[in-house]
Amino acid sequence: QKEVEQDPGPLSVPEGAIVSLNCTYSNSAFQYFMWYRQYSRKGPELLMYTYSSGNKEDGRFTAQVDKSSKYISLFIRDSQPSDSATYLCAMSGPLGNRDDKIIFGKGTRLHILP
Amino acid sequence: SAVISQKPSRDICQRGTSLTIQCQVDSQVTMMFWYRQQPGQSLTLIATANQGSEATYESGFVIDKFPISRPNLTFSTLTVSNMSPEDSSIYLCSVGSGRETQYFGPGTRLLVL
């Protein structure tokens, strides 16, 4: 089993829909959970960051972490064509721990249809 | 935040040759990271470059293949040596601000023929 699993998509949804992006992981030591957005021909940019379990909201974006299920989600409300990008989940363990390297998912390609 | 630039933005190279990628940051940083992003694959850390010390390489990556320089706190280079088509990838440099924040450069797109 890979450390981080993420469906590569592509995922196409109409403008205004709610988007749900997900990752599963196998390493229970992971404590830091991140979502990056990567536009075509650009580097990834940090979108959301969550420590341990729970929800975090930032505008139209909500990140959820369920450590008991080893499952993280990113929700995008009122999706816009400008949200079309590849979304990478990433996670890591405690600093100084052998698991403190950031592990990335493969990314999900999202297309928002006007 | 950090603004990162990379040169070249893209290149097409012949097998057996080497390419040096430059990474410039607009502020002084202790650690710089080099990643590889192959088509359909996860972003993978190649090595961590600290100023004034040898780079630390991840499993599967060796200094002879990917030599790194870090001459000061705002600049680093990654060389892809003796290239083969399997080295075709996007190479990204990155700087960190704590566990949760990593800023990435725009990437260098390399195609090896």
Please give the residue that has the higher pLDDT: either B81 or B54. Answer: B81
Can you give the pLDDT at residue A99?
A: 57
Judge: B43–A104 Cβ closer than 8 Å, yes or no.
Answer: yes
Residue B75 lies in a domain: yes
Domain count along chain B = 1
What SS3 class is residue A111? strand
Judge: B105–A43 Cβ closer than 8 Å, yes or no.
Answer: yes
- Domain of A11, CATH number, reads 2.60.40.10
Q: Which among B99, B101, B107 is the nearest to A43, CB-wise? A: B107
Pairing of strands A103-104, A4-5: unpaired
Can you give the pLDDT at residue A44?
A: 94
How far is CA B49 from each of CA A60, A90, A107, B35, B45, rounded to the nearest angstrom? Answer: 36, 21, 25, 11, 11
- Domain of B57, CATH number, reads 2.60.40.10
| Structural domain boundaries, residue A32 | 4-113
Q: What is the spatial distance between Cα B92 and Cα B45, in angstroms, rounded to a whole number?
A: 9
Domain count along chain A = 1
The 10s digit of each residue's pLDDT in A41-98 is 999 999 998 988 889 999 999 999 999 999 999 999 999 999 999 999 999 887 666 5
Can you give the pLDDT at residue B25?
A: 96
